[in-house]
Amino acid sequence: MHISLIGLPGSGKSTIGRQLARLWKLRFVDTDHVIEQRLGCSIKDFFAAQGEAAFREVEAKVLVELLQEKTASVISTGGGAVLRPENRVALRALSTVFYLQSLPEDIARRLRTDTSRPLMQGEDPLKRLRDLLQVRGPLYLETAHYVVDAARQNTAQVSRKICMQAELAGLLSSPGCSEEVVD
């Protein structure tokens, strides 16, 4: 059983994923880190050298491999993982998917000094996030089993929401929701 987190870049998928994995005593996997290990370079550098299409190909292979592993895990996906139809199908079929729905304004404020995200570079990151949401928002909704409102909330609050939803849905026998989640 896998729990997958999807959402815009900077919506908190990695931070929240680590918190949930710790609470549930599951393995945590960040697809971007696995991709970087496989490539031997940063996603930013690969993106610049090979382009987005080549990156999305690698991302799709890594995602399917992770979803097919037998060990239960919390998987943080890249923001664009839902762009490929086969990724959306695999995520939905092989994991329980939580969409961390965030406001572009909140994310832009948090990421204003982040230079590691290739899709966030440029003169107007807020416009870029709004454009991404327009394209990806419907895909996130199509893929998600659960939508979690992460707007203007800290990661501990969002983690608690996911934990409670997972407990209500019977996804985990002892989800650890009563433990303190710290931001």
- What pLDDT is stored for residue 179 in this prediction? 55
The percent of residues above 70 in pLDDT, for the chain, comes to 90
Give, in order, the Cα–Cα distances in Å from 145 to each of 8, 93, 142: 16, 10, 8
pLDDT recorded at residue 47: 86
The separation between CA 120 and the C-alpha centre of its own chain, rounded to angstroms, equals: 16
Task: For residue 29, list its beta bridge partners.
Answer: 75
How, if at all, do strands 96-101 and 2-6 pair?
Answer: parallel
Distance CA 178, CA 23 (A): 9
CA distance 122 to 1: 39
- The alpha carbon of residue 1 and the mean position of all alpha carbons in its chain are separated, in whole angstroms, by 17
Yes or no: say if 125 and 75 are a contact pair by the CB < 8 Å rule.
no
Give 53's contacts (C-beta < 8 A, 6+ positions apart). Answer: none
15, pLDDT greater than 60: yes
- Residue given tokens 């690698």 in the structure block: 58
pLDDT in tens, 50-88: 999 999 999 999 999 999 999 999 999 999 999 999 999
The answer to whether residue 116 scores a pLDDT higher than 70 is no
pLDDT digits (tens, 9 = 90+) for 136-182: 999 999 999 999 999 888 888 999 999 989 988 888 755 456 555 55
State the pLDDT at residue 117: 65
